[in-house]
């Protein structure tokens, strides 16, 4: 059976896309990144993903954005969509139902929802006085951060943590979690 084809949507630095790409290259995930989608060509992730040898499509916002994204993903033969630091709502619809996943830098449902991304999540965890944080990989549905959880990985919140230090520790967990969750999704789809 040939490797699954992944589509990755990014909005920033592309670190999660690069992590997934490397996991595929190492053979940890039986897949390959067929396409990376971004909305702005100047974001750091576009240059970084291209430098790593990934095909990148820049699809600017505007009329018919969801259709244009769908068309690009379908043309690339994508079977599984991975949102990786993607800060826009992705239209799942019937086409991508059960075939779209996201990684969130916090434990859901407590630290998710519209507007909860990046350092905002880590600040909220610290402000809530939590002793534990982590990341959640979940299926994507039509609501922000509400799809079924595929897996989560946890880490301690240290007394002297800043949002930045907590973010770094959570990202270490994300680098393990996303490839593992992709393997789980692909096994389910192939099972």
Active site members = 104
CB-based contact 150:114 (threshold 8 Å): no
- The residues, ordered by sequence, that sit 6+ positions from 180 with a Cβ below 8 Å of its Cβ are 137, 151
**What dihedral do alpha carbons 97, 49, 59, 184 form, nearest 10°?**
0
CA distances from 58 to 53, 67, 72, 139, 173 (A): 15, 14, 10, 24, 28
């Amino acid at each position: 059976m040939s490797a699954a084809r992944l589509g990755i949507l990014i909005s920033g630095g592309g670190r999660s896309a690069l992590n997934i790409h490397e996991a595929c290259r190492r053979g940890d995930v039986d897949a390959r990144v067929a396409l990376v989608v971004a909305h702005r060509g100047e974001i750091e992730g576009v240059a970084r993903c291209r430098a790593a040898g990934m095909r990148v499509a820049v699809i600017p916002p505007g009329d018919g954005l969801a259709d244009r994204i769908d068309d690009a993903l379908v043309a690339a033969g994508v079977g599984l969509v991975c949102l990786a630091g993607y800060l826009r709502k992705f239209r799942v619809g019937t086409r991508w139902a059960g075939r779209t996943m996201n990684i969130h830098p916090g434990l859901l449902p407590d630290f998710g929802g519209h507007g909860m991304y990046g350092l905002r999540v880590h600040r909220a965890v610290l402000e809530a006085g939590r002793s534990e944080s982590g990341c959640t990989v979940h299926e994507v549905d039509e609501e922000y951060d509400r799809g079924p959880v595929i897996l989560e990985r946890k880490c301690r919140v240290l007394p002297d943590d800043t949002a930045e230090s907590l973010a770094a520790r959570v990202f270490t967990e994300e680098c393990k979690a996303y490839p593992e969750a992709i393997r789980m999704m692909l096994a389910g789809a192939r099972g």
